[in-house]
């Protein structure tokens, strides 16, 4: 889980901003334009260790992770331009910020510790079982999946120190922001050509599978940042020659397979378009055939026997479908912007119950969501609700993000215990939302 985030420098966020997070629900409160979506996107970057869209920006952030109370990871990532010599000024693209990363990971169970430093072109490691610092090859910290890149680069050092980074990256890879409209739905159901015609900035979700690896039914390809955003419980059927779509078995799905039940339909099926294939050498004269699938299609049946596709769903039904898919893809985190948009209150309850033990970061302008958030203590209230607002600092406007003050958290918890007002009403009356 993400325990703490400190922002020394990031766009228009007030320097020195520090946030602590709940293991369960974290709800961002604030008016439109107060940076709630910007904060969700930053949290997504941290959990996915993907800063690829910040390559040309300067920033300075720290964060702390903890898993099952035994393993911890602290990271400090700085991206800063070197001062320019006026007489030797370079074009902007040649003066991109230089990244520096400092990571400390430890495990209480094994008493292992690892320290990593990446400073521009150099990489250094230090582990408890080793003496002194070891040098590694240079690492591009702006590639998607930063810790995958680090592990591939320096795995030759030996030992199992890199397990912290592998775990971090593997559970965080799918933690994209679930948007406030239909962008996630469109990423699931559109082909690349459809997205291109719509001028979408988000690449459609696809899946690459090979049946040519002994001892397994299929193997996933992680060559793209969007490839991991696929529920591993969905089983793709091997295509036959000339087949344009293949059925997907949802028996292992925990959430999406209940969609028909939740929406009052008789049943539904899912299929994927066959988008192409290619061969990859495995060495020693062997090769594997990889298939690329995308553009999911859903076919629904009404109680009267009438069939229709996902294109005919209502706005709320499309969002429910996309969020159930999102839950199947994410076992540990949920990042959702205006989750309750277009949803019936019964569906809101289904979605929040589905979040379960995941760490969730949510926004909502609708009090319906707030009324479902459990508050068990004053400290719980302080960590659960984060205020987002804007303030003027001279000629510029700053995002100001903070946890509730102790006083506000005490008042909120006390009023909620009385039981006369709902959480949303208490927050609104006290000027906290």
Model pLDDT, residue 110: 65
- DSSP symbol at 319: H
Global pTM reads: 0.91
Per mean pLDDT, which of 82-86, 302-306, 429-433 is the most reliable? 302-306
pLDDT band per the 50, 70, 90 thresholds, residue 159: low
Q: Are residues 282 and 314 in the same domain?
A: yes
In a domain, 296, yes or no: yes
CB burial readout 298-308, b (16+ within 10 A) else e: bebeeeeeeee
Instruction: Give dist(CA 4, CA 43) in Å, integer.
Output: 10
Residue among 355, 347, 348, 343 nearest 371 (CA): 348
In a domain, 1, yes or no: no
In a domain, 13, yes or no: no
Q: Are residues 189 and 325 in the same domain?
A: yes
Q: Are residues 158 and 296 in the same domain?
A: no
The answer to whether the CB of 123 falls within 8 A of the CB of 154 is yes
pLDDT band per the 50, 70, 90 thresholds, residue 255: very high
Helix, strand and coil percent figures for the chain, each rounded to 5: 30, 35, 40
Instruction: Give dist(CA 17, CA 427) in Å, integer.
Output: 22
In a domain, 212, yes or no: yes
More confident residue, 243 or 211: 243
The answer to whether the CB of 248 falls within 8 A of the CB of 236 is yes
In a domain, 17, yes or no: no
pLDDT band per the 50, 70, 90 thresholds, residue 97: confident
Q: Are residues 195 and 301 in the same domain?
A: yes
Number of domains forming the structure of the chain: 3
Q: Are residues 157 and 277 in the same domain?
A: no
In a domain, 257, yes or no: yes
* Section 331-359 average pLDDT: 95
pLDDT for residue 19 is more than 50: yes
Residue ending a domain, choose from 329, 355, 381: 329
- DSSP symbol at 52: G
Q: Residue 188: in which H helix or E strand, if any? A: helix 183-189
β 359-363/333-336 pair status: parallel
pLDDT band per the 50, 70, 90 thresholds, residue 419: confident
Tokens 């999406």 correspond to 256
The answer to whether the CB of 293 falls within 8 A of the CB of 207 is yes
Residue among 25, 115, 18 nearest 373 (CA): 25
In a domain, 271, yes or no: yes
Domain carrying residue 419? 22-34+332-433
Model pLDDT, residue 34: 95
Q: Is 214 left (phi over 0), alpha (psi -120 to 50) or beta?
A: beta
The answer to whether the CB of 248 falls within 8 A of the CB of 272 is yes
Contacts with 44 (C-beta within 8 Å, 6 or more apart), sequence order: 50, 175, 176, 177, 335
Residue ending a domain, choose from 306, 329, 352: 329
Model pLDDT, residue 217: 43
Neighbours of 322 (CB within 10 A): 21
Q: Are residues 188 and 291 in the same domain?
A: yes
Instruction: Give dist(CA 300, CA 321) in Å, integer.
Output: 12
292-341, pLDDT tens digit by residue?
999 999 999 998 899 999 999 999 999 999 999 999 999 999 999 999 99
Q: Are residues 191 and 299 in the same domain?
A: yes
Model pLDDT, residue 158: 56
Q: Are residues 278 and 313 in the same domain?
A: yes
40-72, pLDDT tens digit by residue?
999 999 999 999 999 999 999 999 999 876 789
Q: Are residues 406 and 348 in the same domain?
A: yes
* Section 150-174 average pLDDT: 78
Residue ending a domain, choose from 329, 345, 377: 329
pLDDT over 70 percentage in the chain: 87
| Secondary structure of residue 222 in the 3-state scheme | coil
Q: Are residues 206 and 295 in the same domain?
A: yes
Model pLDDT, residue 91: 52
pLDDT for residue 93 is more than 60: no
Q: Are residues 300 and 343 in the same domain?
A: no
Between the CA atoms of 314, 315, 319 and 322, what dihedral angle is there, to the nearest 10 degrees? Answer: 60
Model pLDDT, residue 76: 97
Model pLDDT, residue 302: 92
Model pLDDT, residue 135: 72
Range list of β-strands (E), 215-323: 219-220, 235-236, 245-249, 267-283, 286-301, 307-309
In a domain, 98, yes or no: yes
Contacts with 425 (C-beta within 8 Å, 6 or more apart), sequence order: 367
Residue among 5, 7, 25 nearest 16 (CA): 7
Q: Are residues 375 and 389 in the same domain?
A: yes
Question: What is the chain's mean pLDDT, rounded?
Answer: 87
- C-alpha torsion sign, points 393, 337, 344, 382: negative
């Amino acid at each position: 889980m993400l325990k703490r985030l400190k922002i020394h420098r990031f766009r228009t966020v007030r320097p020195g901003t520090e946030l602590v997070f709940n293991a369960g629900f974290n709800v961002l409160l604030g008016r439109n334009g107060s940076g709630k979506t910007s904060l969700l996107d930053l949290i997504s970057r941290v959990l996915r260790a993907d800063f690829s869209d910040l390559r040309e920006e300067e920033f300075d952030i720290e964060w702390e992770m903890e898993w099952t109370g035994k393993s911890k990871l602290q990271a400090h990532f700085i991206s800063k331009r070197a001062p320019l010599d006026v007489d030797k000024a370079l074009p902007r693209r040649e003066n991109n910020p230089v990244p520096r990363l400092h990571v400390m990971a430890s495990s209480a169970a094994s008493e292992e510790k690892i320290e990593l430093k990446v400073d521009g072109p150099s990489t250094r490691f230090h582990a408890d079982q080793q003496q002194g610092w070891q040098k590694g090859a240079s690492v591009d910290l702006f590639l998607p999946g930063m810790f995958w890149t680090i592990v591939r680069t320096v795995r030759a050092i030996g030992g199992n120190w890199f397990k912290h980074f592998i775990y971090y990256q593997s559970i965080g890879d799918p933690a994209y922001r679930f948007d406030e409209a239909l962008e996630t739905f469109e990423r699931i159901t559109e082909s690349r050509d459809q997205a291109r015609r719509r001028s979408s900035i988000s690449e459609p979700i696809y899946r690459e599978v090979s049946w040519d690896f002994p001892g397994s039914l299929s193997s996933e390809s992680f060559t793209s940042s969007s490839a991991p955003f696929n529920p591993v419980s969905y089983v793709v059927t091997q295509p036959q020659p000339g087949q344009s779509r293949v059925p997907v078995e949802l028996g292992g799905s925990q959430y999406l397979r209940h969609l028909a039940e939740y929406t009052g339909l008789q049943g539904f099926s899912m299929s994927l378009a066959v988008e192409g294939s290619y061969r990859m050498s495995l060495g020693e004269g062997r090769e594997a055939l990889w298939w690329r699938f995308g553009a999911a299609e859903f076919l629904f049946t009404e109680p009267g026997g009438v069939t229709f596709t996902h294109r005919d769903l209502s706005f709320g039904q499309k969002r429910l479908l996309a969020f159930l898919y999102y839950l199947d893809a994410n076992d540990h985190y949920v990042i959702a912007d205006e989750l309750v948009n277009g949803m019936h209150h019964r569906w809101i309850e289904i979605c929040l119950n589905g979040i379960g033990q995941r760490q969730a970061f949510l926004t909502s302008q609708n009090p319906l969501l707030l009324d479902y958030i459990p508050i068990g203590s004053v400290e719980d209230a302080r960590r659960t609700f984060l205020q987002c607002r804007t303030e003027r600092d001279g000629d510029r406007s700053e995002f100001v993000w903070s946890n509730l003050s102790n006083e506000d958290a005490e008042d909120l918890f006390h009023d909620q215990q009385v039981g006369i007002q709902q959480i949303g009403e208490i927050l609104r009356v006290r000027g906290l939302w």
